[in-house]
A and B are shown apart, each in its own frame.
Chain A
Amino acid sequence: DAGVTQSPTHLIKTRGQQVTLRCSPKSGHDTVSWYQQALGQGPQFIFQYYEEEERQRGNFPDRFSGHQFPNYSSELNVNALLLGDSALYLCASSLAYEQFFGPGTRLTVL
């Protein structure tokens, strides 16, 4: 079992660009959550997907959108990137309360 995988590992973008991050959940998990972790802070909840629908959303602007595919994998899209979007983006999959995290994608916006 590969666990939760994320791609790419690192990404550098410039302001105004768009980015897509990808996540494959742990085998058997049907729920995927996305978090943003800024330097020195804990993970901040962006949104959660279940059965291909956004089930819950944190306090993030509409520039942040996502998708879940029939195989439960998920994408996080961020439009009109800002410098403040630079962070580690974590994906977590779950069946119940316990979430399993991927290694994250480090996004740098210049």
Chain B
Amino acid sequence: DQQVKQNSPSLSVQEGRISILNCDYTNSMFDYFLWYKKYPAEGPTFLISISSIKDKNEDGRFTVFLNKSAKHLSLHIVPSQPGDSAVYFCAASFRDDMRFGAGTRLTVKP
């Protein structure tokens, strides 16, 4: 039952360039979407979120885009920094039900 999918297990970008992480979901009931970042030996850390009533939310270098008709969201990181290297999880929720994608490992090369 994979209601949230991150089809790219890994992504490598050059420092200073844009990182684009993608996420697809199947359940149209989801009304809130989040991105988490996870470093080794730590729990996931909240990064940015977006409500289904919006199509874009920006916080510094991080922007999340939501395309409800395509059931797709993406996280843009501009400019990418080596410290952004981590596993990024997409999550979608409806009321108390939150589902996570399998994660994308981002590597930002100096």
Q: Contacts A98-B34, A98-B49, A100-B46 known; A45 to B4 CB distance under 8 Å?
A: no
1/0 per position for B37-51, CB-CB distance to A under 8 A? 000011111100100
Q: Tell me, rounded to whole Å, the shortest Cβ–Cβ distance linking B64 to chain A.
A: 14
Asked whether A42 lies within 8 Å of B43 as measured between CB atoms, the reply is no
State whether the Cβ of B25 lies closer than 8 Å to any Cβ in chain A: no
Specify which chain B residues have a CB less than 8 angstroms from the CB of A99 in the assembled complex: 46, 98
Instruction: Report how far A45 CA is from B98 CA in the complex, Å.
Output: 7
How many residues belonging to A are interface residues under a CB distance threshold of 8 Å? Answer: 23
Asked whether B43 lies within 8 Å of A101 as measured between CB atoms, the reply is yes
Q: Tell me, rounded to whole Å, the shortest Cβ–Cβ distance linking B37 to chain A.
A: 11
Interface of B is mostly: strand
Instruction: Report how far A56 CA is from B93 CA in the complex, Å.
Output: 13
State whether the Cβ of A68 lies closer than 8 Å to any Cβ in chain B: no
Asked whether A44 lies within 8 Å of B100 as measured between CB atoms, the reply is yes
* Closest A residue, CB atoms, query B93: A97
State whether the Cβ of A4 lies closer than 8 Å to any Cβ in chain B: yes
* Closest B residue, CB atoms, query A97: B32
Asked whether A45 lies within 8 Å of B99 as measured between CB atoms, the reply is yes
